[in-house]
Amino acid sequence: MKSIVVIGGGVGGYVAAIRAAQLGAKVTLIEKNNIGGTCLNEGCIPTKVLLHTAQLYSELLAGAQYGLKVNGDISVDWQSLQKRKADVIKQLVGGIKILLQYNKIEVINGTAKINSAKSVSITKPNGEIQRIDTDNIIIAAGSEPFIPPIPGVDSEGVINSSEALSLDEIPKSITIVGGGVIGVEFAHLFNILGAEVSVVEMMPDILPRIDSEVVTLMRAHLENKNIKIYTGAKVESIRRNGSMLDVKIETKDGSLMLKSQKVLMAVGRRGRLEGLNTEAVGIKTERNNIVVDDNMETNVPGIYAIGDITGKNMLAHVASEQGIIAAQNIMGIKDKMDYKVIPSCIYTNPEIASVGMTEEEAKSKGIDYKKGIFPLTANGKSIICNETSGFVKIIADSKYGEILGVHIIGPRATDMIGEAALAIKLEATVDELISTIHAHPTVSESIKEAALSVKNEAIHNVNA
């Protein structure tokens, strides 16, 4: 029986462990903190718990628009919300532990150090060191927030994304450094909860790599909610000033001083290499990430790496797929990771979801393409939900109509993107989307209408 040691019990690690066990391997999973890793414990899941409550709160405040009468004040019970967040995490983590037990995976709590391609040492919480010999190793050690070297970044009140999830109370004001997915989601969250929010982003616009038309609409939405956004801006320093923090930023128009109760650093994450002993073992790394091939194997035969630590695409669903690919290759099923079809989701309101090429990418590659856009103001379900600020956009090859990219901003976007991902994976054409009957009334009807728009044949919209 082949033996495998998996270092890290996050979404990549536990999925790799389960798949390897299904294929007959003897698997040992090493996790130094909590099973489920960043995603379940201090990332994807807890963030969405808070965002879901924030959205319900927002809708109740606007209850009259839905024909509701609300007697009395509506407020967010932050401590109860924190308890709900903990309960959701506990339920999901508990389910994973049951799956690990069912698949006869040994779980060891401790910190792993790689001795060689065939040996790992584990330092347990009590200081005991255990050595395990193994046939293969899968590194799934995850990532940690990147903190840039800004003067004053260690000041009291400067927090990272993990700490932002468990604050003692909702801040009255917050400056968010970084306008990527994490920064924008937190900006949306704290704005709904009543905080004054400012976002500082070095790039020319927020949400880099998202389709520009989607970004334009999202930025307008955020600014309409009185979120202040400074793009092409750099934080020069952070200084504690009584109960507040002074954040000095440099913009194209000169220097500004922002004042807020908290500062959230959301400028990205980097691979967690510390303590793994990669250099001594000879594992190649670049910019704090482990280099892997499409089989997820490192330059050291028998050692694989998956998830955030590879720096390929720091998304939970990518880590899970990489884990499956690594496990299958170790167990003799030759498989390669395909990065062409990776959905990206942003859980704001409206939601954003995209897969495949953006229009900008199609232009830069010289592809002859057509696009179709269907506005949600013409979609019945969106009108019912009172969420018409958005659209579905399809990028398609001009010659064959093959779908190259789909970009959605609106309700249910993160749920609908699966259809688009499957379409691109199967090299579907707009004609095949058009000939697929979509249920009514649904927001997903808009995908068919956007496909029709590519051919200037939209039924529920005026064709240009």
Compute CA 333 distance to the chain's CA centroid, rounded to the nearest angstrom: 29
182 phi, psi to nearest 5 deg: -60, -45
Query: Alpha-carbon distance 116 to 29, whole Å?
Result: 17
Query: Alpha-carbon distance 199 to 229, whole Å?
Result: 5
Report DSSP state, residue 172: S
Residue 352 · residue 216 · CB < 8 Å = no
Residue 144 · residue 228 · CB < 8 Å = no
Name residues whose C-beta falls within 8 Å of residue 230's C-beta, 6 or more positions apart in sequence: 198, 199, 200, 201, 249, 251, 256
Within 118-166, residue ranges assigned H as helices are 161-164
How many other C-beta atoms lie within 10 A of the C-beta of residue 101? 11
Name residues whose C-beta falls within 8 Å of residue 369's C-beta, 6 or more positions apart in sequence: 359, 362, 395, 396, 397, 398, 404
Query: Alpha-carbon distance 117 to 133, whole Å?
Result: 9
Cross-strand bridge partners of residue 255: 250
Active site residues per annotation: 440
Residue 355 · residue 421 · CB < 8 Å = yes
Strands 26-31 and 106-109: what pairing? Answer: parallel
Q: Where are the beta strands (DSSP E) in 140-275?
A: 143-145, 158-160, 173-177, 196-201, 228-231, 234-241, 244-251, 254-260, 262-265, 269-271
